[in-house]
Amino acid sequence: MTVMITGGAGFIGSHICVELIQAGRNVVVYDNFCNSHPEVINRIRRITGTAPEVVKGDVRDVEALISALSAHRFSAVIHLAGLKSVADSVTSSAEYYDCNVVGTLRLAQAMQQTGVRNIVFSSSATVYGEPDVLPLREDHKLAPFSPYGRTKLQAEELLSDIAHSLPPLNVVILRYFNPVGSHESGLIGEDPNDVPNNLMPYISRVAIGRLPVLNVFGNDYPTSDGTGIRDYVHVVDLAAGHVAALDHVHKQKVLKVNLGTGRGTSVLELVDAYTAVSGRTIPFAFAPRRAGDIASYYASGDVAEETLGWRARRDISDMCRDAWNWQQKNPNGYLDQ
């Protein structure tokens, strides 16, 4: 079974490559490396003993996609390639729609032209917007409030429509909650180019001394300790969810599934857990709320369990331990070759 992974050189994609290779799948990475480092392919080989084939290309380039998809008998595509910064999606909206929406459309067209029927798509819990009720179930209303979130929703919608067109596609839409951590080897992990926007990589950089202090955005939310609550999910569990999705994708036209743990963790609880596994002090200061942030959200995992037979196995301590292991072994990310 050969699988194409667009965006396979990125944080989540590289972990999916490892899980798939270890599950005996043949993997082709299709990536333009706009937010990843070629060294990651070498690291995947060091973990698994096999380097995935790499095609350097853009998901908006339909001819390049057709050529890549024609080179093997692909059973499925896992589509992760995209841009993911909420802040950048406000200042560079057109670029986000082009990459995330047009890129998904071009990929679907290339799949239709080459007879590849099955696609697993990386969506985000951000499509829900402000929760009416927790935990978030897949049938909750969808009202994203950033351009990034709207690109994800539009990509979901176009794939769902094309699934029922001719030739049809089978689509599994995975809505990730907050993926964190890294492979236990510490050879692959999250390597943001600039100052991290997200909490876990920010804590890691404070712990290693590359950043002086963590700003905790808001301590007046209606939560247990006043800080924001999220559903952090270990990236290796998330990757396993893709293996389960591939096993399921041909069974129905369109399936939408949350990938989270179902458990909420506050900012201060994550800082405590990281301190415990790293032995480092994480200096923090309370700062104003970040615009667009939600007080609390976490997943219902019922659909994932019922349809994919998937549930997260790793806890917050595992996530912090593996994030810290990656950070310690690669203080400068993939620049430490």
CB-wise, 103 or 218, nearer to ligand NAD? 103
Interactions with ligand NAD, residue window 121-180 (CB under 6 A): 122, 124, 176, 178-179
CA angle at residue 13 from 12 to 14, to 5 degrees? 95
How many whole angstroms separate alpha carbon 153 and alpha carbon 150?
5
Residue/partner pairs of 276-283 with CB below 8 Å, 24 or more apart? 276/317, 276/320, 277/317, 277/320, 277/321, 277/324, 278/207, 278/320, 278/324, 280/207, 280/208, 282/203, 282/206, 282/207, 282/214, 283/206, 283/212, 283/213, 283/214
The verdict on 31 binding ligand NAD (CB under 6 A) reads yes
The verdict on 183 binding ligand NAD (CB under 6 A) reads no
Q: CB 103 → ligand NAD: shortest distance, Å?
A: 5
Chosen from ligand UD1, ligand NAD, none, partner binding at 319 (C-beta under 5 to 8 Å by type) = none
CB-wise, 66 or 286, nearer to ligand NAD? 66
By DSSP bridging, strand 229-230 and strand 214-217 are: unpaired
Among the listed ranges 3-11, 44-52, 96-104, 286-294, the one in contact with ligand UD1 (CB under 6 A) is 286-294
Interactions with ligand UD1, residue window 103-132 (CB under 6 A): 124, 126
How many whole angstroms separate alpha carbon 28 and alpha carbon 13?
11
Chosen from ligand NAD, ligand UD1, none, partner binding at 7 (C-beta under 5 to 8 Å by type) = ligand NAD
Q: CB 49 → ligand UD1: shortest distance, Å?
A: 31
Is the CB of residue 6 less than 8 Å from the CB of residue 34?
no
Evaluated on CA atoms 46, 4, 16, 200, the torsion sign reads positive
What b/e readout covers 39-78, taking b as 16+ CB neighbours within 10 angstroms?
A: bbbebbeebbeebbbbbebbbbbbebbbebbeeeebbbbb
Interactions with ligand NAD, residue window 276-295 (CB under 6 A): none
The residue within the footprint of ligand UD1, chosen from 11, 96, 202, 326 (CB under 6 A), is 202
CB-wise, 38 or 145, nearer to ligand UD1? 145
The verdict on 330 binding ligand UD1 (CB under 6 A) reads no
Q: CB 334 → ligand NAD: shortest distance, Å?
A: 11
Interactions with ligand NAD, residue window 87-116 (CB under 6 A): 99, 103
Q: Which residues bind ligand NAD (CB under 6 A)?
A: 6-7, 9-13, 31-36, 58-60, 80-84, 99, 103, 122, 124, 176, 178-179
